[in-house]
């Protein structure tokens, strides 16, 4: 397939971490949820990074303060939705096959500009999406997030919430409340993620490994499997492997991940990586195996041709010669 690909000469092993830099953490989940103990070393505590991040508000729109959520049934739904977003592993556990919370990608509980804020997305649906080749409602969009980013295929339910599930209504109530007074059908500044310029010649996995080692591994680990706090709860989520987002998630696209990373990471230090560094480390992260694309029913090559005509590593060769896309699965429980 003729599409731009990063150069994949080989994948370097992550270097030992000796720098006390802030880590690249696709997370915030402390906002409104249970507060985990602070992580080891110099990894920033989520609640501290949240305070810094919330200073970066859109000049055109700012969501209402959480303390203004109204009383009554609607307000109760808004609060439930906010809890689902910030602690998905608890409040939507049946549908969470990955180890992520929604707020890992929608930072500060979906409020932060440049981190896919919900207030900017709410007024843009229903809309046509190339990914589904149809007009999607906001409920469709949320179900897709469960299917791909939350890897619902590996969850207790084995699938995303059904249309009409009260859980989806609560999430939408929270999104609608965040968008109070936001103009509908307008592309608000801060929506989604910005896309840094692609480096000439494409991203380098070798350079990306170096960025990861110096900026990311202190929070996400040398093996990319995140950091666990007391009680085995993940403080910072995995970036690849069986508990990460799957090959159908938007974050597996190198350009999407690069935009998120450059705008928001390392946690509390968004905007400090160059365009090239962001693309390089995004390519490195996405050059590792993760759960399979749930749309894949046959061979990787078939799904590659049908669903992956974009900047990604799906269908490429990993270190050792294996083809990326076969999928990483959790080991069977002992006994």
Residues 156-178: pLDDT tens digits?
Answer: 999 999 999 999 999 999 999 99
pLDDT at residue 312 tops 50 = yes
| Beta carbons within 10 angstroms of residue 161's beta carbon | 21
Q: Which of 13-17, 90-94, 187-191, 317-321 has the highest mean pLDDT?
A: 90-94
- Distance, in Å, from the CA atom of 40 to the CA atom of 59, rounded to the nearest integer, reads 36
Q: What does the CA dihedral 262, 39, 327, 321 come to, rounded to 10 degrees?
A: 70
Domain ranges of the chain: 59-178
Range in 145-149, 188-192, 311-315, 328-332 with the lowest mean pLDDT: 328-332
Q: What is the pTM of this model?
A: 0.83
Whether the Cβ atoms of residue 103 and residue 27 lie closer than 8 Å to each other: yes
Question: Residue 232's pLDDT band (boundaries 50, 70, 90)?
Answer: low
CATH 1.10.760.10 fits 59-178, yes or no: yes
Nearest to 117, CA basis, from 166, 157, 63: 63
Give me the residue label for tokens 């969009």: 141
pLDDT value, residue 39: 40
Question: Residue 332's pLDDT band (boundaries 50, 70, 90)?
Answer: low
Report helix, strand or coil for 323: strand
pLDDT value, residue 28: 31
Report helix, strand or coil for 262: helix
> Quick one: tokens of 46?
């989520």
pLDDT mean across residues, the chain:
85
pLDDT in tens, 6-42: 443 333 333 222 222 333 333 333 333 333 334 444 5
Average pLDDT over residues 171-190: 95
Describe the crossing of helices 73-86 and 166-178 by its angle, rounded to 10 degrees. Answer: 100
Nearest to 214, CA basis, from 257, 260, 290, 272: 272
3-state SS, 146-157, equals HHHCCCHHHCCC
- Could you say which DSSP state residue 15 is in? P
- Distance, in Å, from the CA atom of 50 to the CA atom of 292, rounded to the nearest integer, reads 32
Report helix, strand or coil for 115: coil
- Distance, in Å, from the CA atom of 256 to the CA atom of 276, rounded to the nearest integer, reads 14
Q: 318 vs 32, which has greater pLDDT?
A: 318
Nearest to 220, CA basis, from 10, 40, 3: 40
pLDDT at residue 153 tops 70 = yes
pLDDT value, residue 43: 55
What are the percentages of helix, strand and coil residues in the chain, rounded to 5?
35, 5, 60
- Distance, in Å, from the CA atom of 116 to the CA atom of 123, rounded to the nearest integer, reads 13
pLDDT in tens, 126-146: 999 999 999 999 999 999 999
Beta strands 234-236 and 127-129: pairing type? unpaired
pLDDT at residue 195 tops 70 = yes
């Amino acid at each position: 397939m003729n599409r731009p690909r990063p150069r994949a000469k080989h994948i370097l092993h992550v270097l030992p971490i000796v720098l006390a830099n802030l880590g690249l953490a696709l997370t915030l989940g402390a906002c409104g949820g249970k507060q985990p103990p602070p992580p080891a070393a110099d990894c920033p505590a989520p609640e501290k990074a949240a305070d810094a991040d919330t200073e970066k508000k859109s000049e055109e729109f700012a969501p209402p303060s959480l303390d203004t959520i109204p009383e009554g049934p609607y307000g109760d739904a808004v609060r439930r939705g906010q809890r689902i977003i910030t602690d998905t592993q608890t409040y939507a556990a049946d549908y969470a096959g990955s180890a992520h919370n929604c707020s890992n990608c929608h930072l500060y509980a979906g409020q932060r500009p440049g981190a896919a804020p919900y207030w900017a997305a709410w007024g843009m649906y229903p809309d046509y999406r190339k990914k589904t080749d149809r007009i999607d409602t906001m409920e469709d969009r949320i179900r897709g997030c469960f299917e791909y980013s939350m890897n619902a295929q590996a969850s207790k339910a084995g699938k995303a919430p059904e249309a009409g599930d009260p859980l989806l209504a609560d999430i939408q109530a929270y999104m609608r409340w965040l968008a109070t007074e936001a103009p509908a059908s307008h592309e608000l500044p801060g929506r989604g993620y910005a896309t840094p310029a692609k480096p000439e010649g494409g991203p380098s996995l070798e350079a990306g490994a170096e960025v990861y080692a110096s900026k990311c591994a202190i929070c996400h680990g040398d093996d990319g499997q995140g950091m666990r706090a007391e009680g085995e709860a993940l403080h910072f989520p995995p970036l690849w492997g069986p508990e990460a987002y799957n090959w159908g998630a938007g974050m597996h696209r190198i350009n999407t991940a690069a935009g998120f990373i450059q705008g928001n990471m390392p946690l509390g230090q968004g905007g400090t990586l160059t365009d090239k560094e962001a693309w390089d480390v995004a390519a490195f992260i996405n050059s590792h195996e993760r759960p399979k694309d749930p749309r894949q029913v046959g061979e990787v090559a078939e799904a590659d041709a049908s669903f992956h005509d974009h900047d990604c590593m799906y269908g490429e060769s990993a270190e050792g010669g294996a083809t990326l896309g076969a999928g990483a699965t959790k080991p069977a429980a002992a006994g």
